[in-house]
Amino acid sequence: MMAISHVSATYTYIAGYEPQSDVMQHNRIDLDLEEIMSTHLPGNTGVLLSSCTGQECNWGGNTDYLTAPTVGAGNCGGGKQAGDCNTAYDIYRYGKYSNKTTTLRSLYAMGTKTKSSRNDASVDVDMVDNPAISVMNSYWNSKLGTQTTWATDILEAAFQGTTIGDLNMATVGWDFRREIIQKGILYLNVFPYIIWEMQDAINDCKFGRITANDDASVHAWDEAVAFYTGSLEGSSQYGDPMNGKLLHALADKRCQNFRTCTADYDMDPQVGYSVINHDVFEMFTTGKDQIRGAYTSSAADKCDVVTATMNRISSAILNLFVQGTQRYLWKTRQTQSAKQAGEFTSFASAILPFVNQVDSACAEKLYNRAWRLDYTTDSWEDIKTCLENTYPYLGVAEGLGEVKCSRIGTLDEAMSWTACEDPSTSSSSDYEGIALGLGVAFGLFVLICAVVNVYMYMRMQHNADSAKVMQAKAVSMA
């Protein structure tokens, strides 16, 4: 029997989460993404997607977007600002701010889906076999012919301006490519890697590596939280939504659009903390406690309970990508700027594998719009509705039901937006109505019984009084 070694030091909190190990360097991966987004990628040129019909849109950057690039120059297709783009690529490819033991941690390395815990094949689940990641791999293999490198392949095409699958990055404009890069890094590389860190924690737990130190199951779980949140959110509860760059910040940003900022103290649905962050962080804490509770070397059954928590977290995060997909589905309903089209494709790519396993016809409509840039065959309303019908079934295993209309909310920008309702909410309302009806009926029944009882009692009293009177008359006559 192996007793758990309790934490003897206090580690820096992550947006209110208390890690049991040192993950400060992991937390700093958001600084890489921040520099890529804010410093080296060019700003929005404002061009329409339809105006990017040739090489003139291969490289952008404010007023220089019509400058023809030198094809094949560097990693970004050449052009006057290719130096900045190549710097962004180098940070993505090799890392800058997040240190490992002897090297730098990179956003690129997170994109290949071939990780293994290397403990014991009898207990380990490799990255490719994780329930959520295997869904992603299977779908993109069917579309791109690559099972484990699809994420890095997509980003490589966006950096270089080349064709991947049905999408030609050379003709969509730099605004589009920039959105694929900065959002694809987060949604296609970091998100699956968060799931992997949770899986790695479960593998280590089952193998018996559950002591609270840097070689522990709980350490991998803390890493998942670090990669979800980032250093820019700070240590205080709720984080700093103005500065964050990772999924925690995305949740706080989308809740303002969909009126779901209801988990904070002021209860303003458009200001403050995302209800999705609130729920995900509760589950992160639950998983951490479950791992720490697995304190014997033969506690495989105790480690198994963490799998359900992982699947719930993986599925709950999909709410963020659904919100983004629905928002940019609406924004691109009439005209499509290259920027908004790129955002739509980024968000849609994150949920396409999960939509496909629920409703392949709906997924194909979404794919046509996002990857074939077909904005006419299917209406945005039709896609919105078919997506909403998949919500209760998006995700994996115990996570089914974590994507909810109540978590998605109502798009504030769309005045005529029709919000969907969760099936459980409707059923609950029906049951409440039935219960109310039964309650009223029962109340009336009790009232009637009471009236009848009073009436019968009064009749009995009246009959008794009448009998006494008759008896008295009889005595007096005698």
Tens digits of residue pLDDT in 337-372: 999 999 999 999 999 999 999 999 999 999 999 999
* CA 108 – CA 451 distance, rounded (Å): 79
The answer to whether residue 421 sits within a structural domain is no
- Among 322, 329, 390, CA closest to 359: 390
404 Cβ contact partners less than 8 Å away, ≥ 6 residues apart? 319, 391, 392, 422
Determine the average pLDDT of the residues in 395-420.
94
At residue 93, the pLDDT reads 96
Q: Looking at the domain assignment, is residue 210 inside a domain?
A: yes
Task: Please tell me the distance from the alpha carbon of residue 44 to that of residue 348, in angstroms, as a whole number.
Answer: 21
Give every CB contact of residue 423 below 8 A, 6+ residues apart in sequence: 392
The answer to whether residue 437 sits within a structural domain is no
Instruction: Please state the rounded mean pLDDT for residues 234-250.
Output: 92
As a whole number of angstroms, the distance between CA 138 and CA 293 comes to 34
Token pair in block for residue 84 = 């900045």
Instruction: For residue 357, give Cα distances in angstroms to 28, 141, 272, 352, 391.
Output: 34, 14, 34, 9, 12
Beta strands in 125-182 (DSSP E): 163-164, 167-168
Write the DSSP symbol of residue 17: B
Round to whole Å and give the CA distance between 292 and 214.
Answer: 14
Is the distance from CB of 108 to CB of 90 less than 8 angstroms? no
Q: How far is CA 20 from CA 145, 217, 441, in A?
A: 40, 10, 56
Residue 467, in any domain of the structure: no
**What are residue 325's phi and psi, to 5 degrees?**
-65, -45
Which residue range is the domain that position 64 belongs to? 24-408
Does residue 457 belong to any structural domain of this protein?
Answer: no
Number of neighbours of residue 434 by Cβ within 10 angstroms: 10
Task: Specify the number of domains making up the chain.
Answer: 1
Residue 428 lies in a domain: no
- Residue of 400, 353, 217 whose CA lies nearest to 293: 217
Residue 118, domain member (yes or no): yes
Distance CA 154, CA 167 (A): 10
Per-residue confidence band for 283, with pLDDT thresholds at 50, 70 and 90: very high
pLDDT digits (tens, 9 = 90+) for 13-27: 999 999 999 999 999
Phi and psi angles of residue 168, each rounded to the nearest 5 degrees, phi first: -100, 105
Query: Is 343 a member of any domain?
Result: yes
Most confident of the ranges 71-85, 189-203, 422-436, 438-452: 189-203
pLDDT band at 77, cuts 50/70/90? low
List pLDDT tens digits, range 291-337.
988 865 455 578 889 999 999 999 999 999 999 999 999 999 999 99
Helices and strands (H, E) in the chain, number of each type: 16, 2
